[in-house]
Amino acid sequence: MGADEMTIEMELFPELELGLYNGWILFVILVAAEVLMFLLFPRDVVSRLTDFDRSKWSKSQRISFALGKTFSLICIILIVLTPLKLGTIGLGLGIAIFAIGLTGLAASVITFRRTSPDRPVTTGPYRFSRHPQQVSLFTIFTGISIAIGSWVAFLALILSRLLNSAGDRAEEQACLEYYGDSYQEYMERVPRYLLFGGRTDSN
């Protein structure tokens, strides 16, 4: 095994190009998995997963969320146009992290589906994070960023997650209003993002 194969090659700005073996391969696997799950789920479950009432969002929340989506798009574009680090340990590590995230995402949405809409989701991955789907997606895109060896894609990912957290806070506020004390008690037990996001911070 050569020296290059023993290192995780990360570059600030990898050369962008259209290619057959780019990061888009992993991105397409993610999209296909999400489409498959949504096709198998009842329409009401898909609606609860994807439709968000933003009528009560503040102006700052709307701006933060929009900026977060912009950085998400930048990250995806970089992934599509950046070649995978073939023949390196970084590719294997990135794929492994990607697989862990994809497994977590599947477990999260399946748990969501199995929970009655008249009570908050608190089982499965939701025992460890109030937003396991977001944690899983962050893990997935971290794995892809490592697989393509792009620091700039990872930076765009971090910025998008920080800005998109406005949506997570708004979702928590909506859950508090809908579920009341049961969700408040849940928030006091479970952090927002695994070890991050205060247990009682809902703003």
- What pLDDT digit, counting tens, does each position of 127-169 carry? 999 999 999 999 999 999 999 999 999 999 999 999 999 999 9
Q: Is residue 52 part of a domain?
A: no
Look up the pTM and report it. Answer: 0.90
We report the CATH number of the domain holding residue 85 as 1.20.120.1630
Exposure string over 146-172, b if 16+ CB within 10 A, otherwise e: bbbbbebbbbbbebbbebbbbbbbbeb
Give percent of the chain with pLDDT exceeding 90.
Answer: 71
CB 187 within 8 A of CB 130: yes
Q: What are 83's strand-pairing partners?
A: 22
Q: Is residue 149 part of a domain?
A: yes
Quote the pLDDT of residue 49: 81
CB 112 within 8 A of CB 49: yes
Q: Is residue 3 part of a domain?
A: no
pLDDT tens per residue, range 71-96: 999 999 999 999 999 989 999 999 99
Q: Is residue 19 part of a domain?
A: no
Provide the number of structural domains found in the chain: 1
Q: Is residue 186 part of a domain?
A: yes
Does residue 35 or residue 9 have the better pLDDT?
35
Q: Is residue 173 part of a domain?
A: yes
Q: What is the domain range of residue 91?
A: 25-32+59-203
Q: Is residue 53 part of a domain?
A: no
Q: Is residue 42 part of a domain?
A: no
- Whether residue 200 is predicted with pLDDT greater than 90 in this model: the reply is no
